[in-house]
Amino acid sequence: MLKKVVITILTLFILAVSGYVSSAADNDFNCTQLDEKPTDDMVKYSLDAEVNGTVSFHDIGCGIRYRNRELCAMEMISFDTSARVYDYYSSEKIEIGKAYFWLDEKNPGASVLAFSSKDTAEKFGAEKGGGEILDYTGLTDRMLR
């Protein structure tokens, strides 16, 4: 009887630890939800949306990870219709579905950047070298991988 109890406890411990390690591996870098919208130069990297209240992130990629991993289908719809990003050059507010994004998958620490037009996104990509220009659907699909 004691042997079964010990085996059960060890099994539960191993499952708990493996879940923690798996969860930690999913966090490529520190993605935290902000208490308020970013200001100044940080706004051009940020994302905010209305999902059960306002949610703001210091990085567009963090916001998309939140959407893909934390929200149910109904909340995703709310996110998709309310999310705003900011043009990298002008800091102009853009509906997320109308923006174009530059994503550098070879550099996981690089921010996802938003642009109000495909032309300016392509210009940035040509100057920076590497990276890929995506629309919103392409970005969310790519970040599901």
103: left (phi over 0), alpha (psi -120 to 50) or beta: beta
pLDDT > 90 in the chain, percent: 59
First CA to last CA across the chain, in angstroms?
45
Mean pLDDT for all residues in the chain: 83
pLDDT-based confidence at residue 51 (cuts at 50, 70, 90): very high
Q: Is the pLDDT of residue 23 over 50?
A: no
Q: Under a CB-based contact definition with an 8 Å cutoff, are residues 38 and 54 in contact?
A: no
The pTM is what? Answer: 0.75
As given in the structure block, the two tokens for residue 129 are 């070298």
Alpha helices in the chain (DSSP H): 2-26, 60-70, 73-82, 118-128, 136-143
